[in-house]
Each structure stands twice: as C-alpha cells, then as structure tokens.
Amino acid sequence: MSDPAISVLIYTARVDHPYPLRPDLHCFDPVTQTLAAQSFHDFELIVADALWEDRGDWFAVHPQPYPVKHVPSTPNYWHERGRPGVCAQINRGIAWADGALIWMGAENNLFPSHFLDLVWSLFGRGLIPVAWYGVCDKDTADAPEHESPRYQHPPLEFNLLDYTPDMIHNVDHRAQRFVDDRALVLSPCHHQNYFAYAALPTDLALALNGFDELFDGDLGLLDTDMGSRIDLAGASSALTMHRDLWLVEPWAPSGRWGGTIKRHLGLKCPYAVYLCNRATGRRVNTPLPHDFIEEVKRVACYRDCLVKDKCASGVAPEKIMYPFCEGDNGALAREAFAALRPHELLNDVQLRGRRRPPFDRAYVHGARR
C-alpha cells in the first residue's frame, strides 16, 4: 500500500453518543461519513482514541472505504489522572501518520465534499491551510446561551448528516473577515490564530517535535503555541485561510467526554508556557532545565505577561496560578514536570515501524494487532 497524500488525524475522548440533537449518531459518524463523501480520495484516517480499549473493534464492525488506523492514546499521563492530555494524544497520532500533510481535527467535524481537495490544492501551492468553523448548536438546550450570533459566516449551502446552515449559532471569529470583504478569497492567518482545525506538514511536525506536552493537564493555547513555533521556524507566511475552507460541527459538550476525563480548574498557566516557549525557543518534549519554573516566571510572569497585574490582584481567574505553578495546584504541576517523558517524534516513528510499545496495539487497515 502506497503512502497517502493526507493523513486526517482525529483525536477524541468522546463517549459513543455525545450529540444531544442526534442521539442516533455514533461519535465517529460525522467524520467517517463525510470523509466517505470526499471528492479527494488519497487520504488515510487516523483516530487517536482515549477510549480505544473499550471500542478497539469499532472499525472492524463499521468498515470504511478508505484506510483507517484506530490507535490507543494510552499510556497518557493526564488521562490516567482524569484530565485532558491532548498534546500527547495528537503526538501519538502524528507518529502514526504516513501522509505528506496532516489534517488535524475532532471526531465531530462535518466536512463538505470539497474539503480535502481544497486542502491538498492549497498545500500544493506551498501554503499551510487553516479552516474556519461553525457550531450547529442553535436551539440546543445545553449549549451556551446567546441572544444572537457574535460573529457571522459567509453564505453557505450544505446538508451534512441533516445539519444545515440555519443551525449554526456559534461561529469562529475568523470567518468574519470573509463577511466583511465579499471579494476576499485567500487571507493570511496570523500565527496566534492557528487554532484547531488546521493542516501541519508532516516533515514540519517532526522537525518541531510535535505539540508541547507541557500544555497537557489543562486545555488552552496548545494550538496557538504550535502556530508560534511555526512562526519561529520561519514558516508562518504559509499559514492561510480560504473562504471555502470551512467545516461545521454538531454540538457535543465537553461533559460528554468518556472514562474519567473531566474539565478541571487549571493547574498551571498555559499562557505563561506559551510566552516562555516564544521567548526562549526551547525544543519541546525534551528534558526541562532544572530551573524551568523560575525561568517561566522570569520571562513570562514578571516580564511579558499582558495580564500579570490583574492576575496578581486576583481580578483574573489566573490568580490561582500567579506566579507560575504557585497556588493550590502548584504541587500537581511540579509532579507532572518531574514525570515528563522526553521523546523525539522521529524516534516514535521508528518505534511504530518496529511495532514496539506503545505502538504495538492498534486497528490498522482492517486488522487488529
């Protein structure tokens, strides 16, 4: 089997049926069914699943018309402790990728049929495409309440698994640029706006050593940090948004994560990690300096942080984290830093090729191993 052009990387910790408006849909259905309708066929699907141990045979029972790698995210330090561990989960998926380009998303992404065609076309022009998105949560009882959409989206026509444009209520703010300027087709994407969902060239992902697992345990800024490191690597001019590169997702509240994984109060400040990474250019997922916490305080909390005064005074919710890794959860952060598993993604790729742990279990192209 030849290598695919695109590896569609989905990371998930959702329960099987998380969508309030569509209890009939399995959590994988939005991605799998809309991928099956793509006009572009040279891709593989990688699902890095926090619940793989409970549903590792799902794709055996539900075969797809494209190659699938359904892989466990275990072991995962933070999943074992009931918190999100998204960066380590994404990095596991990156190590399984064989495409020249990785498209990163979530299991509830609904892709229009032109989506991967456009992604590959933009990549062929030397660009790194980034999508804007809308959430189909209008009139959903447990969705956030809004009197009106804060942002607008360009005119859209679609029916994706019976989700339609009139159901979009929450819209990614980056879509507004295409509303304000009807002639705008391509738009640069600032590295601070490199959010999910986006492409990442596989060679660049490996060169940058993936996502920084220091962001795990909490949620927030992990993708913005990747955008920052893309910028520091000199590639941010390639980050591009396209009017027609969009996806929508059905509402699936975070409370419907599976297993023990829950949303917790922050135990460290992701913004401080982001600022430190940007100031120092440190290589992520490598051994931390012995004075790392003090270094973060020095280059972020006491210098470049834009909210340090509010944080210190208790006005901002970050008050439990000021200065970095202090407060009620400081000990948890220190324990996590001490347990950090330094690794190179290139080495992980070699382990995967040799089927060595943790790459010795998966459902790959029709066979469980």
DSSP state at residue 130: B
Pairing status of strand 170-171 against strand 186-188: unpaired
Range of the domain at 289: 270-339
Q: Does the residue 15 lie in any domain?
A: yes
Q: What is the CATH number of the domain that holds 45?
A: 3.90.550.10
Residues 210 and 285 in one domain: no
Question: Higher confidence at residue 341 or residue 148?
Answer: 341
Task: Tell me what pLDDT residue 356 has.
Answer: 97
Residues 313 and 364 in one domain: no
Pairing status of strand 239-242 against strand 128-129: parallel
| Residue tagged 């569509």 (tokens) | 22
Answer yes or no: is pLDDT of 141 > 60.
no
How many Å apart are CA 184 and CA 82, to the nearest integer? 44
181: left (phi over 0), alpha (psi -120 to 50) or beta: beta
How many Å apart are CA 43 and CA 318, to the nearest integer? 41
Residues 120 and 241 in one domain: yes
Answer yes or no: is pLDDT of 145 > 60.
no
Residues 149 and 293 in one domain: no
Task: Tell me what pLDDT residue 309 has.
Answer: 85
Confidence of residue 196 (pLDDT cuts 50, 70, 90): confident
Residues 254 and 305 in one domain: no
pLDDT per residue as tens digits for the range 304-336: 898 888 888 877 766 667 889 887 788 889 999
Residues 165 and 275 in one domain: no
Confidence of residue 260 (pLDDT cuts 50, 70, 90): confident
Answer yes or no: is pLDDT of 269 > 70.
yes
Q: Does the residue 1 lie in any domain?
A: no
Residues 331 and 351 in one domain: no
Domain total of the chain? 2
Alpha-helical (H) ranges within the chain are 29-36, 52-55, 58-61, 86-96, 115-124, 176-180, 202-207, 222-232, 270-280, 292-296, 308-313, 330-339, 345-353
